[in-house]
Amino acid sequence: MMSSTAFDDEGLATRDNILIERGVLKSFIHNTKTATILETRSTANAGWIMPRPWNLRVEPGDFDEEELVREMRRGLLINNNWYTRYQNVVEGQFSTVTRDAVLVIENGEVAGSVKRVRIADSFPSLLRNIRGLGKRLYKTRWWEIRRSVELPYIMIENVNITKPE
C-alpha cells in the first residue's frame, strides 16, 4: 500500500498490527512514549509527532451499497467528513463534521440531502453499533491528501448526530 515503510520514525521495524478483529478492539497503535505510559510495547507506528497508522484496512462485508441503503430504512448516508477532533482520547470520544452533501434515507431509498452535519460520539460506541459492511473497498482522502486507508461503507445505528443552525 501507499504508506508502507520498513521502519517507523523511531527506527523500529514496522509490522502488521491487528487493531480491531470482528468488532473487538485488540490493540492501539503506539510509539515508544505511548507504549511506556500504557505499560505495553511499541507497535512501530511512531510518526513525527505522535503515533500514526501506516496503512489501515477494514475488511469488506456482505452488502452492496444498494442493500445497505435498503437495510438502513431510515438514516443518513455520509460520504465524507473532516475536522475530526478528539474530546477524550482515552475514551475514544470525538467530534467531526461532514464535508459533502449527506444523503437522507427514508423507507430504504434516497429522499434528499442535508449539509453541515456533526457527529459527536465515541469509537467504542460506533464499534458496538455496526450493523453491516459494504462489499467494495474505497481509498480515502484526508484534507485532499490521499491516505493509505481502505474501507467499505459501514452501516452504524444509534450514532449521535446534530445539525448546527
pLDDT at 164: 67
Tell me the pLDDT tens digit for each residue of 106-159.
Answer: 999 999 999 889 999 999 999 999 999 999 999 887 666 667 889 999 999 999
pLDDT tens digits for 48-86? 888 888 888 999 999 999 999 999 999 999 988 888 888
Domain locations along the chain = 1-54, 65-162
User: Is 132 within 8 Å of 150 (Cβ atoms)?
Assistant: no
Contact 134, 125 (CB under 8 A): no
Concatenating the DSSP letter of every residue in 23-71 gives: TEE------HHHHHHTTS---S-B-SSSB--S-EEPPP-SB-HHHHHHH
∠ Cα 98 56 158 (to 5°): 45
Q: What are phi and psi of 115, to 5 degrees?
A: -120, 165
Answer yes or no: pTM beyond 0.85: no
